[in-house]
Each structure stands twice: as structure tokens, then as C-alpha cells.
């Protein structure tokens, strides 16, 4: 997909497309390991800071890492409110 067209999609649509691709990979390449890094979620557009796009579950062979500055827009609390446990968070100094 053309990067310019991809960037015109909102974040929710991008993640839905990504999950669709991950499911195809999961069904065709069961041994594949997928790592998704989403850096600086504190710098998202204001409409995406509500984290409605945040997915609690990914395919079994996909792992995700999100980064954010501490205490920006209550992002960490919003993620915790989606059911992610405290032991999944760590602070880098």
C-alpha cells in the first residue's frame, strides 16, 4: 500500500488493517513471531489520545510494545482502565 494513502487513514483504521494482516500471517505462518513497536503514543493526534484504537488482544504470535512519556494525558491510566495489569508496565530512566 502506498505510504501516502496509508497515512490518510486514521489510527483506528490503520490498526484494523494491521490486525487483518497479522491474522493472515498467523494462519499461514504459525511459527512466525511478530513484534509491533508503537513509539511516543503521547504524541498522537488529540482525537486518538482517547485510546479507542487500543487493542487488548493481538494474535497469539504477536507482541506489542508501546512507549509514552510519563504522566502525559493520563495515557498510562487509560491503558490500565482497559484491563492491562500493572506488571506489564515498566519505567525507563
More confident residue, 36 or 7: 36
* CA-based end-to-end distance of the chain: 37
**Does the pLDDT of residue 71 top 80, yes or no?**
no
CB–CB of 88/54 below 8 Å?
A: no
In which residue are the cell numbers 510519563 written? 70
**C-alpha to C-alpha distance for 42 and 62, rounded to whole angstroms:** 23
- Whole-model pTM: value is 0.64
* Extents of the domains making up the chain: 3-88
pLDDT of residue 78: 86
Average pLDDT over residues 26-30: 80
Amino acid at each position: 500500500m502506498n505510504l501516502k494513502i496509508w497515512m490518510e487513514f486514521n489510527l483506528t483504521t490503520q490498526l484494523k488493517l494491521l490486525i487483518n494482516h497479522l491474522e493472515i500471517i498467523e494462519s499461514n505462518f504459525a511459527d512466525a513471531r511478530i513484534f509491533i513497536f508503537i513509539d511516543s503514543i503521547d504524541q498522537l493526534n488529540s482525537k486518538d489520545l482517547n485510546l479507542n484504537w487500543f487493542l487488548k488482544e493481538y494474535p497469539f504470535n504477536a507482541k506489542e510494545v508501546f512507549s509514552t512519556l510519563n504522566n502525559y494525558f493520563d495515557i498510562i491510566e487509560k491503558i490500565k482502565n482497559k484491563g492491562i495489569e500493572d506488571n506489564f508496565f515498566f519505567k525507563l530512566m
